[in-house]
Amino acid sequence: MTTATHTRTDRPGSRLAARLDGRLLSPGDAGYDPARTVWNAMVDRRPRMIVQAASTADVQAAVRFARDRGLEIGVRCGGHNVAGFAVPDDGLMIDLSPMGGVRVDPVRRLARVQGGALLGALDRATQPYGLATTAGNVSHTGVGGLTLGGGMGWLARRYGLACDNVESYTVVTADGEVVTASRTAHPELFWGLRGGGGNFGVVTEFEFRLHRTGTRTLVAEFDFRAEDAVPVLEGWRDLSAAAPREATFTADVGDGPAGGGPLATVGFVWVGDPERGRRLLPALRALGRPVATRITTPSYLELQRRDDSTGGHAYRRYSAGHYLRGFPTAAVEAFLLRGAADLRGGGSGLPGVGLQAHGGAIADVPDGDAAFGHRGTMFEFGAGSRWTDPAEDGARMTAARAAGSAIAPYANGVYVNSLTAHDGQGGVRRAYPAAKLARLAALKGVWDPHNVFRLNQNIRPAAA
């Protein structure tokens, strides 16, 4: 045996490395730390090895290798999951980042999107044809995690959630096989992949249906002093219920300029001809006397990047979320308070809170059609905090949880993709009504009976 061969075979996973189209990274290798670093800076875990998969065959090899050795698997696409589920401590991380390609067929209006693609890549590939499909609001989020949990975006009220626009999934299963799931091939798996998260395998390709959306949008925002905003939010809620599907109503409350007290911002995002969107403006202007107004007409690609820096990397993050079927006055008051005792005292480390309207095409999809849990939602609520000093961890998380608890009495469930590590199985039960969870557990028992894919919002397999 030559020294070189000896060195190669001694290194953990060297046989695996030799088979890969991509790379195998171990602690100490160049690229190891960037690959294990995810969006939430509170996540600091060290995988035993990282497979940077460049092909479906790489994913198959990685799954089989990890399964045979009992290594916990983490799957990384955009790395945005707030709980950091992509990164297993001492396990094997499958980093899909090298598989970020998107191919568009503008004639058939289909996009083939690799499992590691970011939303920005999807939008950039489709927009030159005036096409798009539902994708989230920050361009560096992964198509993978977002779509598998449901996928909410500015087009969802018109065309359904991201998962409602998937025609087929190519999946590497727990035993390392490749299957395609669609309405006609493995339809039950297709059902589960539409909202069931990363529980059933590693998706190496999504086939998306595209829509003629054009490239233009309108964004309207009206700022009010939070302490005056109860009637404003009530009026905004009622306008949202009657709004055309091109409009997604938004509201948030955050710290205003120093000394000014908290601000409540209400408005909407319109995808389509801005002139038609402007017709909604008089009704919003009639809600009250705003302290500031912003009406902008970004291109769709600009809109999709608009929140990239507020949603940026390298901050410590914590959040609490709910789905709301209604937004009664008591919930409006709780929303404005952000979990604090009164409306004064902005800048005190309280989380920002926000609402984004559901309804429209999301609610058109029959509930039994997909694993996604809460079609009847009126608004998604989120309370989010970002900071840099670890000494603030406890206070920030407590404050975000308090804002979430204040809204909890009005909630009907939660978005599976907003669950934190603290939510555990209770969170999974809130994400899926009991009958859906039982169906998902049975499906998990078929495709992953030994729970190989468990570092996620885990659906425990039902016994066969």
Residue ranges in contact with ligand FAD by CB under 6 A:
38-39, 75-82, 85-86, 96, 115, 136-138, 141-142, 144-146, 148-153, 197-198, 202-203, 311, 417, 456
Cβ distance 226 to 263 under 8 Å?
yes
CB of 317 to ligand FAD, least distance (A): 7
Q: How far is the CB of 310 from ligand FAD (least distance, A)?
A: 8
Q: How far is the CB of 460 from ligand FAD (least distance, A)?
A: 15
Nearer to ligand FAD, 229 or 361 (CB): 361
> At its nearest, how many Å lie between ligand FAD and the CB of residue 146?
4
Q: Which is nearer to ligand FAD, 265 or 418 (CB)?
A: 418
Helix/strand/coil percent split, the chain, to 5: 35, 25, 40
For ligand FAD, the closer CB: 60 or 81: 81
Backbone phi, then psi, for 354, in 5-degree steps? Answer: -150, 160
d(CA 60, CA 48): 18
Nearest-approach distance from CB 359 to ligand FAD, in angstroms? 15
Separation CA 439–CA 457 (nearest Å): 16
User: What is the secondary structure of 336-397 as a DSSP string?
Assistant: HHTTSSSS--TTSSPPEEEEEE--THHHHS-GGGSS---TT-SEEEEEEEEES-GGGHHHHH
| Closer residue to ligand FAD in complex, CB, 377/417 | 417
By beta-carbon proximity to ligand FAD, the closer residue of 133 and 141 is: 141
Q: Which two tokens stand for residue 120?
A: 């920005």
Q: Select 202 or 301, whichever has its Cβ closest to ligand FAD.
A: 202
Q: Which residue has the tokens 């570092």?
A: 455
Q: Which is nearer to ligand FAD, 204 or 343 (CB)?
A: 204
For residue 215, the minimal CB distance to ligand FAD (Å) is 19
Name which of 146, 25, 36 is nearest 80 in CA terms. Answer: 146
Smallest gap from Cβ 88 to ligand FAD, in A, equals 9
* H/E run at residue 234: helix 230-241
CA dihedral sign, ordered 60, 64, 65, 66: positive
d(CA 333, CA 335): 5
Q: Are the beta carbons of 294 and 221 closer than 8 angstroms? A: yes
